[in-house]
Every structure is written in C-alpha cells, then in structure tokens.
Amino acid sequence: MNAARPLLILMLAAACQWASAQAVSTAPPEPGSAASKLMLRGEAYGVKIVDMRAQKRSDILVVQTELLNTEKADRQVFWRYRWLDASGMQVGDGEVWKPLVMYGEQSQYVRGTAPGMNVVDFRLEMNVEKR
C-alpha cells in the first residue's frame, strides 16, 4: 500500500492540473464581437463592455461603447481607439489616452470618430486602475 501512495498522489496532482487547464478558455473571441475589439492592458477590475456600436457617417467611422463598472469601488479608466485600415494597419499616429473616472456600479459611454475615410476597423484600448 505504501508503494502505491506516491503514484496515487501524482495521479491526483495531474488530474487537478488537467481540470484547471480545462476550466480556462483559450478560444479566441468571436470575430466582430466586442471582446474581439478590446485591447485590455492589465486587469479589468470589474469594468466591462456592455454595448459597442459602430456606423459610417459621411464615410467616416464613428464608434460608441458603453462601459459598466460592476464593482462598488471607483475605477480610473484610461482609454483610446486604435483606428485600422482594410489591411489591418494603424491609421494616423494614434490618439492620446483619455481619462475617465467610473464610480461604483456606474455606466458610461465613450465615443470616437475615425481620423479619415480609409478607416474600416478599430480596437478599444483600455487601462483600468483601482482608485
């Protein structure tokens, strides 16, 4: 029985590692989904995308994103849009980071307008800090 104990412990440890690996989803987000448009720098700390809408107005892409702080604590969010052309290359020099204070359980809209008519896609870059 003592000889089987180390083998049993190794088997249990391997099973736990396999189960924890299976619990983490490594599947990429659906193309076109809000998750596929987000470039999160670090932890989200309870800030999530509720809705994201994009439309062309006079051949210029306009994007509006609703963010929600799901926590009771306030969060400092820095955000910007990265604008992309049809081949996935960044258009322009990039926007400056914009600060946004999100109070506990608050919803906020952020909006951006593409810098030119050749923009066909975008990414929302976010950095969330605890306050």
Residue 39 near residue 82, CB atoms below 8 Å: yes
Instruction: Specify the pLDDT at position 98.
Output: 98
Cα distance from N-terminal residue to C-terminal residue, the chain: 55
Instruction: Specify the pLDDT at position 26.
Output: 55
Handedness of CA 53, 101, 127, 48 (dihedral sign): negative
Averages of pLDDT over each 10 residues, the chain, 131 residues: 51 45 54 85 97 96 98 98 97 95 98 97 97 79
Amino acid at 3: A
Amino acid at 68: L
- In the chain, domain spans: 34-130
Class of domain 34-130 as given by CATH: mainly beta
Instruction: Specify the pLDDT at position 60.
Output: 97
- Give this prediction's pTM: 0.75
N residues, the chain: 131
